[in-house]
Amino acid sequence: MPSPLADPVTLPCGLVFRNRLSKAAMAEALGGKSHSANETLTSAYVPWAKGGWGSILTGNVHVDVNHLGSPDDPALHTEYNGDPALVAQWKQYADACQEHGVPTLVQVCHPGRQSFRGAGTRGLFGQSVAPSAVPVKLGDGLFERLLATLLWNKPREMTKADIERVVRQFVDTARLMADAGFSGIELHGAHGYLIVRGFVLINWFFFVDQFLNPKTNIRTDEYGGTPEKRAKFVLDIIAEIRKVVPPKFAIGIKLNSADHSSATFEETMTQIKLLAEAGIDFLEISGGSYEDPKMMGISEPKSERTAAREAFFLEFAKTVRSRYPELVLMLTGGFRSRTGAESAVRDNACDLVGIGRPAAVDPHFAALLLDESVPEEKAVLPLKKAPTPWILRWIPLKIVGAGAETLYYASQIGRIAKGLATFAPGM
């Protein structure tokens, strides 16, 4: 029986993904001091373009060079006015990604309150901006409070003019990506792990989620106070982008189930309903693992907290699927085998399967999963826990382990860009 992973998927805008496997967005940290789509960043995508993927999602492209999540992220430097030289620079990147016909979407974002000191051109003491002046909190201990103070200053609450400016920056970035020839964009509304010069790793939320989330948006104006009002920021972005991009230019959004809770579950579902009505082309849900490690022939004990988070991820995804069956849904998180990916599709949990870490170790992992001559037990890439750099072992933060994972796989992407061999953790 042919694998359902080989089925094409047509998005509402008309863009066609030739199969269900998507190379998920991952931190590359390759934009350099120029924060641009440089040759190194472009080189990393050449193997993925030939890897059998149905679609490719790039790593972060920030909409404002003054506010970056990492010192080495690419970003828009100024208002986009159709500059041919700028379009040509990004076109080289788009062409490399899509040379073999794989639609590529750019993940665009703004770190908001969690743009740390020194990331971006605003300077060490330039304030970050946020929906509300809620400072970053790493914990209640002395070390956590000191570290938060050193890394971030207290953000200032955005005025309406600030919000409208950032909306224009998202629109400008999307328009540039469309002019450069990319197939679409994904709005990053989920959390990730911040690599600070390769040493300190911090859990962070992107701007879209900071507006959606009642913990970070305590406004009482038209942008806060209810689930609907907290969604206005992203809904405005989507509406304005639609006005300036081609009809087949896809607009997706990424949410992480772990950014939400059972207490706000219905509010989140209300916001997803609004996103669906706004005409997004797909919703990516991350934050858990669909696969049982036992099906991959390995034993991986889980803490109660991890098990609960993954259970919530599955509940979250299944509820979205049942309530909004017409919404194209991508699940990302923990897929390591053909068996797991096929199970998610056959269970009607998703239309698209996002694969991150295995793609950083084997850029051709999609081709392996789709190759019917490869037996089931060989169509797998189990990954051990990434090693934690020795200096980070002394930092008493729960998130260091997850940050170490991001750092490890970013280093593998760097090896891909240089044409070097990649290695799974433990090898």
The whole domain housing 98 covers 4-418
The predicted pLDDT at position 193 comes to 38
Identify whether 375 is part of a domain: yes
Identify whether 425 is part of a domain: no
Q: Which two tokens stand for residue 216?
A: 């970070």
Look at the alpha carbons of 151, 162, 190, 426 in this order and tell me if their dihedral is positive or negative. negative
Query: pLDDT band for position 211 (50/70/90)?
Result: confident
Identify whether 426 is part of a domain: no
> Closest Cα partner for 62 from 200, 179, 188, 148?
188
Identify whether 106 is part of a domain: yes
Q: How many domains is the chain partitioned into structurally?
A: 1
Identify whether 290 is part of a domain: yes
Identify whether 174 is part of a domain: yes
Lowest mean pLDDT across 16-20, 94-98, 152-156 = 152-156
Query: Domain containing 260 — which CATH number?
Result: 3.20.20.70
Identify whether 220 is part of a domain: yes
Give the residue, 294 or 190, on which the prediction is more confident: 190
DSSP string, 94-137: HHHHHTTS--EEEEEE--GGG--TTSSTT-TTPPPEESS-----
pTM: predicted TM-score of the whole model, two decimal places: 0.90
- Which stretches of 198-292 are assigned E, i.e. beta strand? 200-205, 250-256, 282-286
Quick one: average pLDDT of 204-208?
Answer: 58
CA geometry: angle 168, 171, 177, nearest 5 deg: 145
Which three-class secondary structure string do you get for 390-408? Answer: HHHHHCCCCCHHHHHHHHH
What are the residues whose beta carbons fall under 8 Å from the beta carbon of 107, sequence distance 6 or more? 25, 57, 58, 59, 60, 61, 185, 186, 188, 254
Quick one: average pLDDT of 318-340?
Answer: 94
The predicted pLDDT at position 287 comes to 75
Give, rounded to a whole angstrom, the gap between the first and last alpha carbons of the chain.
34
Measured CA to CA in angstroms, residue 249 lies from 176, 184, 260, 271, 387 at distances of 12, 5, 29, 23, 39
Which pLDDT tens digit goes with each residue over 235-277? 999 999 999 999 999 999 998 776 666 778 899 999 999 999 9
